[in-house]
Chain A
C-alpha cells in the first residue's frame, strides 16, 4: 500500500503537462542520439546534466530518464538499418537485425526491437519497484570471482562450438582478447601493447572503434563489392497496417521476451556486468533453446527480440546498484551518479529511506519514459525505413561520413578515426576470408572484465586457482558455462548421427524465409 502511495505521488508529478512535454522532447532527442553510430545514452545524459540545475529537480529527473530510455531504444535503429551498433549494448541486435533489413524486413525488425525494448523495460521497472532494496544484497555478494564466472558464462552462452569454422573462431576470439589488453594494465600499473608509445593507445582500443570499423566501413566495402550482382536497394515500404500486424506477431515471442527480461534485469543489476553481457547472453540463450538455431545470424526475428528485451531490462537493472550501493555499472550511470551527488543526494543504502521522493519520482518517470519511448519510436519507424530507400551510393557516402564523425565524437581523438579505417579494411578482408567477426567484437567487450576479475581473484586468494569453484555462486556459473560449452557439441554429434542425409541444414533455406 505504502509503495502504491509513493508511486502514485511520483506519477502525479511526472504526468503534469510540462513534464509530459519534457518526456516527449527527451525521448525524441534520445532516440536520435542513440540512433547515431558512436553516440549513446552517455552523450545524451552528459549534455542534459548541467541543465538539470536550471529546471526544477523533478523535471530534471524525468528529462534524464527520458533521454536514457530514448537512447536505449535508438541504439537498435542503427544496428538494424546500417548494421553498425550504436552502443556496445546493441551489438547482439546487429547479428539478426541487419540480415532482416537486407531481406527487406527492416520495418518488422524495428517494430520487434521497439516492442521488445518496451517489454524488457516494463518488466524490469516492475521488478525494480518491488524488489529494489532486497536485491541490493545480491549485488553485494558479487566479488571478483563471481564477476569472472559470470563473464565466462556470457561468453560460452554466446559462442558455443559448432557452426562456423572452429579454428577461425578461436583466432578471432584471441585477437579480440589481445586487443582488449591494450593500454594500461590496472593490476601492475604498467602500460602494455601501446605500439611504440602512441598516446592514443593509452586508453586501450575502444569497443566502438572496432565495431564502427568492421561493421561500418567493412560492411560498406563488402556491400559495394557485392552490389553489382546483388542490388541492395530495398523497396522498404511501411503502412499503418504493417505496424499493427507486426505488433500482433509479437505474441509468438512471449517465451523469448520473458527470458530476456528476467535475465537482462538480473545480469544488469550486478555492478560489473551491465547491459552488454546481458544482451549477449539473452541472444545466446535464445539461439540455444531455439528449435532452429541455424537460422540465427541469418535474420531470425528472435535474434532481435532477445537482445533488445535484455538490454533494456539490464539498463533499468543497472540503475539499481547505482541507487542502492552508489556503484556505477556503466559510463552513463557513472554520470547519473555524479549528477545525483551534485544535487546533494547521497546514493547508497540510505537513499531509499532519506529521499523517498526522489527515488519514487525517478521510478515513476521510468514508467512514463518507457511508454513515451515505445510510442514515439513506433511513430518514427516509417521515417527510418524511408531513409533506407535512398539510392545506394548516397547511403554509402552518408554511412562513411557517420563512421568518421561518429568515431571521433565519443573520445574526440583523430587516433580513433584512423584506427576505424584500419579496422574497416582488416574487417573487410577477414570477412571475405570467412572469419567470423562477432566473436572478435564480443571478445573485445568482455575481455577487460574477464582479465581484470580473473587476476583480482587470484591476487586476493594468493594464487589459488580453485577459488573460482570454492565459492557457491561462482561455482554455479562456472558449471553452467561448462554446460553451455558442451551442449552444442553433444547436439551436433547427435544430429550428425541421426540425420546424416540432411547435411544441408548448415545452409539456411532462404526461399522459405522470404515467403
Chain B
C-alpha cells in the first residue's frame, strides 16, 4: 500500500518535471510508451519464436515504428511457464508484451502453473508456422505410404526426433501414431536446428520439423519432405502433398502471436495492436514470411482471443489422447 502510494506521488512529481523537460509531448488522447518496451519471449535464444521476435525488434527499430526501444528478454524456462508466470505478475503494466508460440496453451494444460490465458490481452497473431514430415535424402522413403510401412516394419524402433516432450513436434508425432496405428521412439532434442542436424547425420530416422529449420539442408539436397500437415500445399514445396489430400485429417500449426498482460490500459492495447498492424505491412516481414513458408494471416482482438480459447480446447483433447 505504502509502496503504491509512494509510487503515485513520485509519478505526480515527475509529471511536473517532464513538463519542464518538454519531453515526450504526447498528442492528446494518443497513448505513447514512456519507457522501453519489454518483449518477453516464451522460448530460449535461437529458436523460431526468438528469431521472429528479434526480427520484429529490428524492423521496428529500422522503420522507426515506436518512439521507445523494444527490448527482447528470453524467458524460456519450463517450456514458457516462466514467461507465463512473469506476464501474470505484470498485471496492469503498459510496457510489456509477450511473443508466444503453442506452449502458450499447452504449458498451462500440462502443468498446473496457476495461469489462465483467458485473462491476458490478445494483441495480434502475426503468422502460423507449418509442419512437414522429413526423412534423410539417402533413405528409400518417397511417399507417406512408404513411411508408414517402414515405421511399422521397424516395430517401435523407428527414431523420430523433435523438440521437448509435450511440445509441438511430439504432438504431431502423436497424431501420426493415432492416425496410422504406428509406434515411434520419440527422441527429444533442445531445438529444431539440432534435430535437423541429427537427421542429416543419420542419428534419427525422421522428424516433423518446421520448414524454416530444415530449409538449408533441403536446398543442399540432404533431406526429403514427405508430406505437409497443412490444409493446402505450401508454395515453396509445390510437389509435396498434404496429409489432407491423401485422405488423412492431420493439420497442425504453430502460431506466432503477441499478447499483453491482464489489465493493460485499453489505449496501450490499441497502440500495440496498431504497431503490429504496421509491422505486418512492412516489406521485410512479407519477404521473410514467404521465404520461410509461414502463413502470414493476421488476426487481432477478440477474434484472436476466440482462436486462443478454441486452440486450448483442441490441445486439451490432443494431450489427453497422447498421454
Contact = CB atoms under 8 A, between A and B. Distances in A.
Interface of A: 42, 46, 49-50, 52-54, 139-144, 183-184, 186-191, 194, 197, 199-204, 271-272, 321, 325-328, 331, 333-335, 337-338, 341-342, 344, 346-351, 411-412, 452, 456, 459-460, 462
Contacts of A187: 164-165, 188
A460 B159 contact: yes
Interface string B172-214: 0000000000000111111101101110110110000000010
Given A342-B51, A348-B216, A349-B220, 7 more contacts: A54-B62, A184-B164, A199-B81, A325-B217, A342-B288, A456-B187, A460-B185
B152 interface: no
A184 B79 contact: yes
Contact of A331 (B46, B55, B77): B46
B316 interface: no
A163 to B, nearest CB: 34
A77 B267 CA distance: 48
A189 B166 contact: yes
B45 interface: yes
Q: Is the interface of B mostly helix, strand, loop or mixed?
A: helix
B204 to A, nearest CB: 7
A203 B216 contact: no
B111 A327 contact: no
B287 to A, nearest CB: 7
B46 A348 contact: no
Interface of B: 44-46, 50-51, 54-55, 57-59, 61-62, 72-79, 81-82, 85-86, 110-111, 113, 157, 159, 164-167, 170, 185-191, 193-194, 196-198, 200-201, 203-204, 213, 215-217, 219-220, 222, 284, 287-288, 291
B165 A186 contact: yes
Contact of A203 (B51, B78, B186, B188): B78
Interface centre among B62, B196, B216 (most CB of A within 10 A): B216
B194 A49 contact: no
B287 A344 contact: yes
Contacts, number: 167
A325 B113 CA distance: 37
Nearest to B73: A412
A271 B222 CA distance: 18
B45 A334 contact: yes
A303 B200 CA distance: 38
A235 to B, nearest CB: 43
Given A186-B164, A346-B219, A412-B73, A50 B62 contact: yes
A154 B303 CA distance: 53
Shortest 6 CB-CB distances between A and B: which pairs?
A: A348-B216, A203-B77, A334-B46, A202-B78, A143-B203, A202-B77
Contacts of B170: 189
B54 A456 contact: no
A331 B51 CA distance: 12
Contacts of A184: 77-79, 81, 164
B77 to A, nearest CB: 3
Nearest to A46: B72
Nearest to A449: B190
Contacts of A188: 165
A325 B86 CA distance: 34
Given A186-B164, A412-B73, A346 B215 contact: yes
B217 A349 contact: yes
